[in-house]
Structure 1
Amino acid sequence: MICLAGCFTACKKNVPIDDSYDPTPQFKADTAAIAAFVKTNNVPAIKDASGIFYQIISPGSGNASYLTSTVISADYEGRLLNGTIFDSSKGTPATFKLGNVILGWQFGIQKIQKGGKIRLIIPSYYAYGTQSPSPSVPANSVLDFTITLTDVQ
């Protein structure tokens, strides 16, 4: 448990440190919510060692090695667990440096190659955590992304 808490605090970037915040209860709540969601919706998701749930819809092809400097292009849609779409590339792939996306994407994208499609259900800790990036994404939101990786550079 101490190692898990240490991993949580080591992974966050550019977030003011609040020594009183313990992410473990929220992570457990998110994990329980995701497990219930995948069961209720018959999503054949696998739980990664990190705690992210994923479903590889199509693996893609290639042998890209991913670094934080890897540039990816992806067509994606992001939803909350209640189904509300909060972000979408709307069929026009967006380009990002892998190191500039949320940790859930950094972990999940590496499971597919160019042309691959994955569904990532991400605990809030690996998304925006206690920060709310917009009014449509409350703090501590579990995020559900469907991502098609259109290019890897």
Structure 2
Amino acid sequence: MLLKNAVLLVLTVLLLAFYACNKFEAYDKTAQLQLDIDSIQRFLTKKNLTMTKDASGIFYNMVRTGTGTQVLGDFDTVKIAYTGKMLNDSIVEQAVDSAKLVLFAMPEGFRRGLQIIPAGTSHGIQAGGEIRFIVPSALAYINRPVYTPFPIGIIPPNSNLDYTVQLLQIYKQKK
């Protein structure tokens, strides 16, 4: 029993020493964002798509604005139907009927995509509107794999995500 414990202790120490010596690459959001933008631009060219790039690096196309003039705040709740795909067209997320979500609880890129205000306008998407946007991985799940119950099971690290969202209803935060 003593020998078994000693062997386990030695193996544990060796494993910890190996782990401590392992050099993990630091995540560089700025460099990854540039790689993502380049990848998205190649995707758009290959698919012959025209989209506008906002300051954050999200590419979008306002399919239908909808009706109203509300500006979505971080604490507003939205009722949406959406499909999220990787750039290889694999569906990774979907709510075909409707999902009711609070904006601040959404990943950064998804929230920003819904809050885009196109140049020359005073508001973005409204109830009844539809928007397609591509979120760079640096604004999505970054360099982490994400497990999802939807068909593929995992979104690989550094995946750019292509969303089509229909905004069904806006519930403004009560002040």
Indicate conservation of the 8 Å contact 2:113/2:135, yes or no. no
- Count matched residues: 135
Matched, 1:125 2:131: no
User: Which whole-Å CA distance do the structure 1 matches of 2:160 and 2:91 have between them?
Assistant: 12
User: Which residue of structure 1 aligns with residue 128 of structure 2?
Assistant: 115
Cα RMSD, aligned residues only? 1.6
Q: Which runs of 4+ in 1 moved over 3 A?
A: none
Q: Which has the larger radius of gyration?
A: 2
User: Which whole-Å CA distance do the structure 1 matches of 2:94 and 2:105 have between them?
Assistant: 17
5+ long unaligned stretches in structure 2: 1-23, 116-123, 148-152
Letter in 2 for 1:126: L
TM norm structure 2: 0.73
Secondary structure in 2 matching 1:93: strand
> Which segment drifts farther, 37-46 or 138-147?
37-46
Matched, 1:56 2:74: no
User: Which residue of structure 1 aligns with residue 162 of structure 2?
Assistant: 144
Indicate conservation of the 8 Å contact 1:104/1:120, yes or no. no
Secondary structure in 1 matching 2:69: coil
TM norm structure 1: 0.83
Secondary structure in 1 matching 2:34: helix
- Between the two proteins, what is the percent identity of the paired residues? 34
Per-residue CA distance 1:91-134 (angstroms, 9 max, x = gap): x1101001011111211212311111000101001111122221
Secondary structure in 2 matching 1:54: strand
User: Which whole-Å CA distance do the structure 1 matches of 2:146 and 2:69 have between them?
Assistant: 33
> Which segment drifts farther, 74-83 or 21-30?
21-30
